[in-house]
Amino acid sequence: MTWRGNTFECPPLDDLTRDDLLTQAKSACKYLIVNATTADTFPIYNVVVSDKTGRHATLRKMSDSLEPQLEGACATTRVRATIDEVSDFFYVDTPTKAREFSRVLGENVIDKKTLYSLIDRPVVEASTEPYHYVGIEWTLLKNPGMPLRDLCYLDYHDEFSFVDKVTGDVRRGWARCMHSVDVDGCPDLEQRYGVIRATIVRSGHVFVETAVKGELEYNRVYFANPRGKVLKHFPQYFLNTYLKKYAINVLNLEEHFTTQRIKTMLKAPISQFHMKKSVSHCMICSSRFGWTSSKKQCRGCGCVTCGKCISVWTVDLDAKTTIKVDLCYKCVSGENDNMTTASDVDSSQEHQSPTDRFSRPHSDPNMLGDHPRQYAPIVAARPSHGRRSVSEGFVDEEPSVIMIQSPSQRGGDNHDEDEDDNESGYRTISPKQWRPSACGSAVAMRDVMLTFRSDNSSLYL
């Protein structure tokens, strides 16, 4: 029989069962944060870089801190967003938000239902209450080439804070934890509908404020067992197959928030921008424009750039109108947030050389070579710890680097690349072409006391 959006009959929970579920959810979230903050003790499996945002994500295989025999993965990156923004994005309470969530994070969700709402999220936007929610959710997933799978899990959202031991600053954080649970009202559907019940354990998303205002460290932790007659015998194959997609998806979140900010950038009057013909050098990398060079202009700040220093963004203005916008990497990365537009460059700079006038800022050591958007991966100098999925042993390999390319740049650089990766829109770049960087080092979360805002309970890391 085929699943046709049937509903579940979920009887009310008694107080004892409800309290037990809340305890399970809180415990799972604590171990999620432990796994996220100790992930950098494992070797880097690969590094994925977004050519549009210049942001990279490090991917590590790891074992679960509670059940070390379980193997999973953690992807770590930075996101230009606030705790308010990310908590709202992950609180999926409307069909529109569900579609957006599925698109951004690459989750092929066919159906989703809230079985129980154990603690409702505050509804007042200006509320001082923490972004706290606890529910039991059911999700139906369809991955290409695989039978339908579903999940029944505790969905736990909570805010926390801690004192950064390096800077002494109080930092906020937010976590969303998913942990499989059995409930009478949501039975296994395999025998009747052929839907395989997968399990997910202490998995989810952890965001922590960094020293850079408006920027969060983002860890996405994944420990799952796909189950099924075939995949249950090849859990390592499933994990390795999913890793590439998993690492790429964490970078999509910043692209999502960037497209939201582009709408504000469109208010800048283009009448104040530089005339392209009056600019002889790229205002980002200082490359001189030749006779046949194509000049691009950033819609955010008005800078005239070469093709390498700009990327094209698609923005939905409304349900019927979609536009494409050119943005320079400084507007994408946020460097221009507190800067004047290109039209405001002081006239006293007219006698400076193009290199002096438009050289890249010294505060960005993450750059590699002459390309302003080739960032080096963060290589953490710490020992080893871990989390869950399935199978034994770690693969201590040299990290590979996968470039997510914008269509205009594919095939434009001379790198050694794997043909299959190139055909699919990605490039694997030798780790030898990358150098460690101190920029963007992990937030100091060792030997600190973390406090949850929902109940003032603590967790020592």
* pLDDT tens digits, one per residue of 169-197: 899 999 999 999 999 999 999 888 899 99
Using CA atoms, how far apart are residues 103 and 96, in angstroms rounded to an integer? Answer: 11
Q: Does the pLDDT at position 40 exceed 80?
A: yes
**Would you say 305 and 377 are in contact if contact means Cβ atoms under 8 Å apart?**
no
- Residues 456, 308, single domain; the answer is no
Amino acid, single-letter form, for residue 418: D
What is the per-residue pLDDT for 239? Answer: 67
Dump pLDDT digits (tens) for 310-366.
888 888 887 788 889 998 888 887 776 644 444 443 333 333 333 333 333 333 333
**Domain CATH number, residue 341:** 3.30.40.10
Helix (H) or strand (E) holding 460: strand 458-460
Using CA atoms, how far apart are residues 82 and 260, in angstroms rounded to an integer? Answer: 13
Number of domains in the chain: 2
- Residues 134, 47, single domain; the answer is yes
CA quadruple 212, 308, 408, 314: dihedral sign = positive
Mean pLDDT, range 244-273, rounded to an integer: 84
**CA angle 272–275–279, rounded 5-degree value:** 125
- Residues 199, 340, single domain; the answer is no
Using CA atoms, how far apart are residues 52 and 70, in angstroms rounded to an integer? Answer: 35
- Residues 181, 278, single domain; the answer is no
**Domain CATH number, residue 33:** 3.30.530.20
Residue 257, classified by CB atoms within 10 Å of its CB into exposed (0-12), middle (13-18) or buried (19+), is middle
Instruction: Classify 95 as helix, strand or coil.
Output: helix
Beta partners for 117? 135
pLDDT-wise least confident of 112-121, 128-137, 198-207, 431-440:
431-440
Using CA atoms, how far apart are residues 121 and 113, in angstroms rounded to an integer? Answer: 16
Whether 409 is covered by a domain: the verdict is no
Helix (H) or strand (E) holding 327: strand 322-328
What is the per-residue pLDDT for 243? Answer: 75
Q: pLDDT grade, residue 407 (50/70/90)?
A: very low
Q: How does DSSP classify residue 368?
A: E
- Residues 69, 24, single domain; the answer is yes
Nearest to 309 by CA among 287, 334, 326, 284: 284
Whether 118 is covered by a domain: the verdict is yes
Whether 239 is covered by a domain: the verdict is yes
Whether 222 is covered by a domain: the verdict is yes
Q: pLDDT grade, residue 269 (50/70/90)?
A: confident
Residue-wise burial string across 297-333, b where 16 or more C-beta atoms lie within 10 A, e elsewhere: bbbbbbbbbbbbbbbebebeeeeeeeeebbbbbbbbb
- Residues 327, 452, single domain; the answer is no
- Residues 206, 192, single domain; the answer is yes
What is the per-residue pLDDT for 350? Answer: 37
Long-range contacts of 86-89 (CB under 8 A, 24+ apart): 86/174, 86/205, 86/207, 86/216, 86/218, 86/253, 87/131, 87/157, 87/159, 87/174, 88/131, 89/253, 89/256
- Residues 81, 186, single domain; the answer is yes
Q: Does the pLDDT at position 402 exceed 90?
A: no
What is the per-residue pLDDT for 45? Answer: 84
- Residues 30, 88, single domain; the answer is yes
Using CA atoms, how far apart are residues 397 and 395, in angstroms rounded to an integer? Answer: 6
> Residue 186 belongs to what domain range?
15-261+382-402+423-460
Using CA atoms, how far apart are residues 352 and 336, in angstroms rounded to an integer? Answer: 21
- Residues 250, 307, single domain; the answer is no
What is the per-residue pLDDT for 103? Answer: 87
- Cβ–Cβ contacts within 10 Å for residue 278, how many? 7
Dump pLDDT digits (tens) for 363-399.
333 333 333 333 333 233 333 333 333 333 333 333 3
Strand pairing category for 71-80 and 56-63: antiparallel
Mean pLDDT, range 72-80, rounded to an integer: 93
Whether 346 is covered by a domain: the verdict is yes
Strand pairing category for 199-200 and 149-163: unpaired
- Residues 77, 194, single domain; the answer is yes
**Would you say 369 and 281 are in contact if contact means Cβ atoms under 8 Å apart?**
no
Mean pLDDT, range 438-454, rounded to an integer: 73
Percent of the chain with pLDDT over 90: 35
Whether 98 is covered by a domain: the verdict is yes
What is the per-residue pLDDT for 359? Answer: 34
What is the per-residue pLDDT for 380? Answer: 31
Whether 53 is covered by a domain: the verdict is yes
Nearest to 261 by CA among 85, 97, 408: 85
Nearest to 198 by CA among 179, 219, 183: 179
Whether 1 is covered by a domain: the verdict is no
What is the per-residue pLDDT for 29? Answer: 97
- Residues 51, 186, single domain; the answer is yes
Q: Does the pLDDT at position 3 exceed 80?
A: no
